[in-house]
Amino acid sequence: MTHRTQVAIVGAGPAGLILGQLLHNAGIDSVIVERHTRDHVVERVRAGVLEQGTVDLMHEMGVGDRLAREGLRHDGIYIAFGGERHRIDLAGLTAGRAITVYGQNEVVRDLIAARERSGRPLVFEATGASVHDIDSTHPTVRYRLAGDEHEIASDFIAGCDGSHGICRLAMPSPVVHPYEREYPFAWLGILARAAPSCPELVYSLHEHGFALFSMRSTGVTRLYLQCEPDEDLQRWPDDRIWGELTTRLRTNDGWQPAVGEITQKSITPMRSVVVDPMQWGRLLLAGDAAHIVPPTGAKGLNLAAADVWRLAGAIGEFYGTGSEVGLRTYTERGLRRTWRAQRFSWWMTSTLHRSASANPFDHKRQLAELDYLVHSQAAMTSLAENYAGVPFA
């Protein structure tokens, strides 16, 4: 069975769904295919910090109503070290730009609902997908659904299927240059039924390593602590997790995270990846298919949103005027933003984590870096601009 469309989108994560909504609003047809089940896509726990630009985009797309009601706007964040919390005034340092805490699974839930209202195709459990003829003007996507073979004939393929998806691998290996870095630590993350004990995020450097206090709602706390890349979750019963989180996060004013029932535990590896170029022929990569950033800077979902905003504009320009300028410059513009996000994420990661190879000098240098940060208007402004996010371009 063959389906004809203008844009075939592989992957129904935030990148693919946002792109589908942007194209729909522009009157451009698309088909989204996803190998996982709908429940898997909705329920997987990922990022929860939205930059100002991503929040604005959700509203512009017409899918921001629940975000406005339930999202938690934060005008600042805390940096903790030496037993003290220091607030960085994001909004005050960036003329009102802030972040909003709203889980990625909630973003996906809203986007799936919008996709279904649009009536445009969204296919889950599409197995054995492959892309073909990407260097022609009529690339195709083939997949199986319930035992039947399907083909999507399109003008463009958007690869939004993650770092292990089929689209990145379909690009000719001699022309693709992946830049990668593995970090010597990981995050042990938990969700807990506990009311947040601080109104804003707390990033902490402690002698035992990094810890992060965050939240998902007024009744659910999200917390992370630095651990080994090959950490065994069985070695981390609830009591040990709370003990370590309390040790790393407690400050001299008596603040510490509220303890509650842990409902989920996971290990998140830390790595950086940049794929150059982000396109080949009529195949264009977006989101995790094009880049991975360590979660410290909260850039993953936001980079994906910027990618597909740029891609939707380029495709709209092509159909509206016939111009391919936006398509030809997609990689150049995308890599500029990606490398800036990588630089910021690397800086936050290296400044707030303790490496096993570090010595006392390295720890003292980190403390001096943070002391400079919280006492320098210029340094705080730089962090605020990067964390809240510069406008999409």
Q: Do domains 2-76+99-180+271-347 and 184-270+357-388 have the same CATH topology?
A: no
Q: Between 48 and 371, where is the model more confident?
A: 371
Residues 6+ apart with CB under 8 A from 314: 325, 326, 327, 329, 330
> Angle at which helices 14-25 and 300-321 pack, to 10 degrees?
30
pLDDT digits (tens, 9 = 90+) for 75-108: 999 999 999 999 999 999 999 999 999 999 999 9
Give the distance from CA 355 to its chain's centroid. 24
pLDDT at 200 over 90: yes
Distance between CA atoms of residues 105 and 113, nearest Å: 12
Residue 214 CA from chain centroid, whole number: 15
What are the catalytic residues?
Answer: 74, 203, 295, 299, 387
* Mean pLDDT to the nearest integer, 229-246: 96
- 37 exposed, middle or buried (CB, 10 Å; 0-12, 13-18, 19+)? exposed
CATH of domain 2-76+99-180+271-347: 3.50.50.60
pLDDT of residue 45: 66
Instruction: Concatenate the DSSP letters of all residues of 170-227 into one string.
Output: HS-GGG-EEEEEEEEEEEEEEEEE---SSSS-EEEEETTEEEEEEESSSS-EEEEEEE
pLDDT at 44 over 90: no
User: Coil, strand or helix: which one is 389?
Assistant: coil
CA separation for the pair 85, 318 (Å, rounded): 50
Secondary structure of residue 300 in the 3-state scheme = helix
**Residue 47: predicted pLDDT:** 75
Average pLDDT value for the chain: 96
Kindly tell me the sign of the dihedral angle through the C-alpha atoms of 224, 227, 229, 235. negative
Q: What's the confidence (pLDDT) of residue 48? A: 87
pLDDT digits (tens, 9 = 90+) for 363-376: 999 999 999 999 99
Torsions phi, psi for 160 (to 5 deg): -120, 35
Query: Residues 351, 204, 183, 11: is their CA dihedral positive or negative?
Result: negative
CB contact at 8 A, 74 and 87: no
Radius of gyration for the alpha carbons in the chain, expressed in angstroms and rounded: 21
Phi-psi region of 287 (alpha: psi -120 to 50; beta: other; left: phi over 0): left
Is the pLDDT at 185 greater than 70, yes or no? yes
Closest-CA residue to 275 (of 292, 300, 299): 292
* In contact, 279 and 330? CB cutoff 8 Å: yes
| 328/321 Cα distance (integer angstroms) | 15
Nearest residue to 231 (alpha-carbon basis) of 269, 259, 261: 269
According to DSSP, residue 329 is labeled T
* Residue 339 burial (C-beta neighbours within 10 Å; 0-12, 13-18, 19+): middle
Q: What is the pTM of this model?
A: 0.96
Strands 261-276 and 177-193: antiparallel
- Listing DSSP states for 270-288 in one string gives EEEEEEESSEETTEEE-GG
d(CA 48, CA 191): 12
Query: How far is the CA of 354 from the CAs of 47, 58, 77, 209, in angstroms?
Result: 23, 36, 21, 5
Composition of the chain by helix, strand, coil, percent to 5: 40, 30, 30
Mean pLDDT for the stretch of residues 107-131: 97
pLDDT above 90: residue 356: no
pLDDT surpasses 90 at 26: yes
Mean pLDDT calculated for residue range 331-339: 98
Could you read off the pLDDT of 148-161 as tens digits, one per residue? 999 999 999 999 99
Q: Which CATH architecture has domain 184-270+357-388?
A: 2-Layer Sandwich (3.30)
Q: What would the pLDDT profile of 278-325 be if each residue is shown by its tens digit?
A: 999 999 999 999 999 999 999 999 999 999 999 999 999 999 999 999
d(Cα 359, Cα 363) in Å, to the nearest integer? 7
Element counts in the chain: helices (H) and strands (E): 13, 21
Q: Which residue has the tokens 């890349």?
A: 229
Facing residues of 209 across strands?
A: 206
Domains of the chain, by residue range, sit at 2-76+99-180+271-347, 184-270+357-388
Closest CA to 91 of 100, 81, 101: 100
